Amino acid sequence: MKKTPLHSTHQHLHATFTEQNGWQIPAHYGSVTAEYHALVEDVGVIDVSTLGKFRATGKDALGLLNRLSTNNLMQMEPFHAMSTVLTTEKGRIVDLLIVLKSKKQELLALTSPHQIETDLQWIENYTFPLDDAHFENVTDSFGCLLIAGFSAVKVLSDLAGKPVEEWSIHQFDHTSIDHVPCTLMRTSDLSVPAYYLICPAEYAPLVWSAVVANGATPVGDQAYQTLRIETGLPVGGYELTKAVNPLEAGLHHAISFNKGCYVGQEVVARVDSSKKIKHSLYGLRLEGDQLPAPQDKIYTETEKEIGFITSSVRSIKLQQLVALGYIKNRDFTAGMDVIIRSQTVIRAKTSTLPF
């Protein structure tokens, strides 16, 4: 079982741990409800060091990533990042990446926690022998924090010594937190202002302590997942898999429709031009107290199969169980009654996102 650079810090905070994608991470620090309210009303800090990270160097590295993924990475400006999707030949999702471009042309990419080795192997499969492109797994070399909430701007502006409120999504800069060199990037994750703070792994506890000392509440995975699902944010391993294409997952922001060819481009373009997106990600409000499991099937009341579950949680906002799932667009109507076949039959009503 892998542990993040902040594991000892979490132990000192008496965190309750859970396992996720081969990592031991904090589930909560005592009160999931209090941690959730810190995110939606004030500011929380989450250890997301489990995100995969790889460094790409060489004059052909950017071009190679560009021809393997959906967005036009060649248009990236220095100190800006882009979301882009690695896709299969059939236009299905391998992984969603965030690629950061520094002034020196060196690239750093963030991947889903469980996908780093798969992503690097996928890239290697399409790398020609003469390509000047080198990709290094640096996941264990860096800690990564997600600072989120309406007070995140003030906390980070004070710590970094520079205003970050007006930053655009995926704008980033190099800064220093308590004399530790860090990369600070605004992200579109969640329904509240959110920023990634990336730092050398050995100094992650020091950076965490500085963020907490400036007012952020430590938040575990349960509160994060609650807000993620309420927001309708798709993530790798749950909503983002080879079972769906980027358009079905709502990743339009990570797709360029006028760039050159990339792996899977013809399929993605054909789905877009024909407007025939078969499934989309929707919400479900559940009756009862049983959470469905990923891949549980969704049916109409007349027993017609129309989709499947990806994630579920007890919503603090709605005070009921909710789920995310892919449902056939031709069968979807907001508020319709459906049946989920899990260990027992669960009745639910469909919902648009966010809840």
What is the C-alpha to C-alpha distance for residues 240 and 267, in angstroms, rounded to an integer?
Answer: 17
Residue type, position 54, single letter: F
Q: Has this prediction a pTM greater than 0.75?
A: yes
pLDDT at 255: 98
pLDDT-derived band at 4 (thresholds 50, 70, 90) equals very high
**pLDDT (tens digit, 9 = 90+) per residue, 134-182?**
999 999 999 999 999 999 999 999 999 999 999 999 999 999 999 999 9
Residues 131, 87 share a domain: yes
Residues 284, 270 share a domain: no
| Domain containing residue 91: CATH number | 3.30.1360.120
Sheet holding 16-20, edge to edge: 2-3, 23-28, 16-20
Residue type, position 70, single letter: T
Q: Which of 276, 301, 332 is where one domain is finished?
A: 276
| DSSP codes, 1-59 | -EE-TTHHHHHHTTPEEEEETTEEEEEESS-HHHHHHHHHHS-EEEE-TTSEEEEEEST
Q: Per-residue pLDDT averaged across 176-205, rounded? A: 96
Number of structural domains found in the chain: 2
pLDDT at 301: 95
**pLDDT (tens digit, 9 = 90+) per residue, 312-345?**
999 999 999 999 999 999 999 999 999 999 999 9
Q: What is the span of the domain harbouring residue 320?
A: 278-351
Q: Report the 10 Å Cβ neighbour count for 146.
A: 22
Residue 105 in this model has a pLDDT that exceeds 80: no
Q: Which of 240, 259, 276 is where one domain is finished?
A: 276
Residue 10 in this model has a pLDDT that exceeds 90: yes
* DSSP alpha helix (H) spans, the chain: 7-12, 32-41, 61-68, 116-125, 152-160, 204-213, 221-231, 265-274
Residues 72, 189 share a domain: yes
Residues 296, 215 share a domain: no
- Beta strands at 180-187 and 194-200: parallel, antiparallel or unpaired: antiparallel
Q: Per-residue pLDDT averaged across 96-113, rounded? A: 92
Higher pLDDT, 68 or 188: 68
Residues 185, 315 share a domain: no
- The share of the chain scoring above pLDDT 70, in percent, equals 100
What is the C-alpha to C-alpha distance for residues 101 and 56, in angstroms, rounded to an integer?
Answer: 10
Q: Report the 10 Å Cβ neighbour count for 258.
A: 6
Residues 329, 218 share a domain: no
Residues 119, 62 share a domain: yes
Residues 251, 284 share a domain: no
What is the C-alpha to C-alpha distance for residues 345 and 108, in angstroms, rounded to an integer?
Answer: 45
pLDDT at 130: 93
What is the C-alpha to C-alpha distance for residues 253 and 230, in angstroms, rounded to an integer?
Answer: 20
Long-range contacts of 29-32 (CB under 8 A, 24+ apart): 29/218, 29/219, 29/220, 32/220, 32/222, 32/223, 32/226, 32/316
Residues 294, 258 share a domain: no
Residues 336, 321 share a domain: yes
Residues 291, 221 share a domain: no
Residues 120, 68 share a domain: yes
Q: Per-residue pLDDT averaged across 87-94, rounded? A: 97
Q: Which of 276, 301, 331 is where one domain is finished?
A: 276
Residue 155 Cα to chain centre, angstroms = 22
Go through the chain and tell me how many residues it has. Answer: 355
| Domain containing residue 325: CATH number | 2.40.30.110
Average pLDDT, the chain: 96
Q: Per-residue pLDDT averaged across 47-73, rounded? A: 97
